[in-house]
Every structure is written in structure tokens, then in C-alpha cells.
Amino acid sequence: MTGSSDARTAELGERLAAVRRRLDAAVEAAHRPAGFCQLLVVTKFFPADDVRRLLQLGERAFGESREPEAGRKVAEVLGDWESPEPGDVPVFDMIGSVQSKKARSVARWARAVHSVDRPKVVDALDRAAVAALDEGERADPLGILLQVSLDGDPQRGGVVEEDLPALAERVVEADSLRLRGLMVIAPLDGEPGHWMAEAARIHEAFRGRFDAAELSAGMSGDMEEAVAAGSTCVRVGTAIMGDRPLISQ
């Protein structure tokens, strides 16, 4: 188990502090209020003990991307979580793509899903969230961020801009989902600043039409550009956790 003074905790603490400094500086440079942009620490491929170390370091929001690894890890971490104050409970978001058949398990642990890009997945998550609410496995509707494709590449996923309003309507009409905003992953080619400006333009139009103000944009390599474009949530893995292990769990 984790001691507060082990070498890994020290390493995570240093990298976390560096990322928090980058984030604070970016928020300030963008003339946004402190705390405007949430940090989601992406712990995919890393063990439950690392999540516990990050909890000790004060983090409460995490991103996971694969079932069933994610569900198991969340159950393990929450199983021995002793909340310092009532209501101080860690939250886990699903940032990877969800297959319909995994929707039921995701709805048990995820605060929100950031990667929704198809009507079929909206329907599966709604059915799953209805069941999870009925069974007392969750207390609130499942948050939904629609992943937008910035370049139309089907590999990376995401709904193209033209199809976004219809997909958003479907979420709004669902019984147990709450539309929270948009998510983007910048394509690797070209300038991050260019893609983030494109995300900002799409987000602006979207917000004019839907009550869903969040923009999940920015990772280890493009946090600054994302915050400049109005990101409300950066998803940072490598810069905090280190390189992902080659062997998946």
C-alpha cells in the first residue's frame, strides 16, 4: 500500500505541482478567473495505488478510458476511501470511447462520459443510467460531453459539426442524461492553436443553442492552447503520471 512518503508519491507530487503551475499560468494569461478550468488527472493504465497517492496529494477528479479496467479500479479506490469531510468524494469521468455493451458498467461509476459521438451510444447510456438510478448505483443523471471531430478523421472518433445539433437534441430528450458540453482531441498534424481555435468557434455556436457550457479540451501537450480557447477541463495523463506502461492491464 501507499505511504505518504514513498518515492512514487514524491514523483507524482512534483509533476502534479508543475502541471498545476502551467494550468494556473494559462488561466491567468487567458484572463479567466482562478479555477475556471478543471484538471482531470488521467490515470488509465496506472494502478489503483497511484490514484490513492493522487488522493493524498489532494486531487479529486480523474479520467479513465477503458472498461472493465476502469470500473474495477474505481471500485477498489472507493472501497477504502475515507472521506476527510462529508461530501468530499472523488469523481471519475469516462474519457475513452464507450461500446454500447459496456454502457451499463460505465453508468455505475462515471460522473460523466466525454466521448459520446453516436446516437446508438446516447441511447445505450440513457438506458444504462436509468437502470443505475433505479438500482441506487448512482444519485444523479449521467453527464454527457459530445466529442466533436475537428478534421473528420473517423479513427479519432467524434461527431462532425453538421451532425452535432441532432445528437445534442437526443441527449437533451433522454431521461437520465444531462448534456454538459463538448469534448475535443486536437489532431496531431498542424498547430494545436489552430485546432483549439476551431474548437472554440464550434463551442461558441453550440452554447448559443444549448445550455451546456463545458469544453473538455487540452492534454499534456496542448493545455495552454486549450485554455486560451476557453477550455473548462483539461485531461492530463503523461505530464503527471509519466509514460504509460507498455503492458495493459
Which stretches of the chain bind ligand PLP, using CB under 6 A?
A: 42, 44, 65, 95-96, 185, 219-221, 235-239
**C-alpha span between 237 and 221 (Å, rounded):** 10
CB neighbours of residue 95 within 10 Å: 28
Residue with cell 481555435: 197
The residue (of 96 and 181) whose beta carbon lies closer to ligand PLP is 96
The residue (of 176 and 230) whose beta carbon lies closer to ligand PLP is 230
Compute the least distance from the CB of residue 115 to ligand PLP, in Å: 6
The residue (of 132 and 185) whose beta carbon lies closer to ligand PLP is 185
Residue with cell 441532432: 166
Compute the least distance from the CB of residue 223 to ligand PLP, in Å: 8
Compute the least distance from the CB of residue 32 to ligand PLP, in Å: 21
The residue (of 168 and 217) whose beta carbon lies closer to ligand PLP is 217
Compute the least distance from the CB of residue 231 to ligand PLP, in Å: 12
Contact 97/71 with Cβ under 8 angstroms? Answer: no
Q: Which single residue brings its beta carbon nearest to ligand PLP?
A: 237
Cis-peptide into 165, omega within 30 deg: no
Cis-peptide into 68, omega within 30 deg: yes
**C-alpha span between 62 and 222 (Å, rounded):** 18
